[in-house]
Structure 1
Amino acid sequence: MEIDTVLVPIAETDTVPYVVAHAVAIAEQYEAGIHMLYVLDSDATDTDALSQQLMEATRAATDDITIPLSHSIIYGFSTEYLTHHPGSVVLDASNDIGADFIVIPRERSPNALGQAADYVVQYATAPVLSV
């Protein structure tokens, strides 16, 4: 199996170190890069602050690694419009960046990503590690 990019969707700073550790292990094994996808709720009031917190948590968790690292932000769910399932948003992003592997936290919180893990595991065409 060839893996060039490991996608890591996250929505909470608490999960970053744990999820990144798994993604780094996979990326090192396959000499791949990691793409951090910050999944934000469209209805959130201060998305700039949350995205900054997620980036800072990622920097802290990846400070000692030499793996290529990229970042992007996506809005995963709106309770007002109900236009997208957070899982489909993650899968669309995975296709857009050409991810070969997905490491997704299995969060049980009511945020966008908490609703996405089962969906991603079920419908992803790339291998998925749910942690």
Structure 2
Amino acid sequence: MTEPPLEVETVLVPVDGSDESVAAVEYAAAIAEQYGASVHAMYVLGEDIVHGLETGGIPDEEIRSETEAFIDTVRDIADRYGVGVTNSNAYGFSTTSKLQHPGTVVLDTAEHVDADFLVIPREPLTGEPGEILEKAAEYVLLYASQPVLSV
């Protein structure tokens, strides 16, 4: 068997709890399995959620519960492929900085976790307003220095 032409140790997959995110995790886990890598799932919080958290309109515990439940799904998928998984949460938007965008958050996290490969869900344009990764996919495809699979 020949060596893969690419060395991959960490596959970053940004998620937002959507069905498209589940599909992206499946791809990320399959790629990680192929390269003997691990998966880092980053749960990206949307603009409405960030605003609700910052103004107190949404309880922290409610968001923590939702994100942890989705990360459990990520762990289940990773376990099926026999790959390790780490995770983090990130605000996709800021109420105080116009420069913070889901795409920049994904790329900053990729640098922080030293990701070698990115798998990003490409949400349908008719998706729910809370599904923010559609706003990040094109940006990441344009500016990532790592290979990117958009699913």
- The 10-residue stretch of structure 1 (4-13 or 60-69) with the greater mean CA deviation from structure 2: 60-69
> Corresponding residue for 2:103?
87
Is 1:122 the counterpart of 2:130 in the alignment? Answer: no
> Corresponding residue for 1:56?
72
Q: 2:32 aligns with which of 13, 27, 35?
A: 27
- Structure 2 stretches of 5 or more lacking a match? 1-5, 53-57
* Cα distance change, pair 70–50 in 1 and its aligned pair in 2 (3 A): same
Describe the superposition over 1:10-43 as per-residue Cα deviations: whole angstroms up to 9, x where unpaired.
0124234311221122111111111111111222
- Write the letter of the residue equivalent to 1:120: V
Flag as ranges the 4+ runs of structure 1 deviating above 4 A.
none
> Corresponding residue for 1:14?
19
Counterpart secondary structure, 1:64: helix
Counterpart secondary structure, 2:100: coil
- Structure 1 stretches of 5 or more lacking a match? none
TM-score (norm 2): 0.77
How many correspondences in the alignment? 131
Cα displacement (A) at 1:81: 4.6
In 2, the alpha carbon distance for the partners of 1:86 and 1:20 equals: 18
Counterpart secondary structure, 1:73: strand
Does the CA-based 8 Å contact 1:16-1:61 persist in structure 2?
no
* Cα distance change, pair 22–90 in 1 and its aligned pair in 2 (3 A): same
In 1, the alpha carbon distance for the partners of 2:132 and 2:98 equals: 12
> Corresponding residue for 1:72?
88
Counterpart secondary structure, 1:82: coil
Describe the superposition over 1:65-109 as per-residue Cα deviations: whole angstroms up to 9, x where unpaired.
321111111111136653411100100000000000000000133
In 1, the alpha carbon distance for the partners of 2:32 and 2:88 equals: 18
Counterpart secondary structure, 1:77: coil
Q: Which has the larger radius of gyration?
A: 2
Is 1:2 the counterpart of 2:7 in the alignment? Answer: yes
Q: Compute the RMSD of aligned alpha carbons.
A: 1.8
Counterpart secondary structure, 2:145: coil
* Cα distance change, pair 103–59 in 1 and its aligned pair in 2 (3 A): same
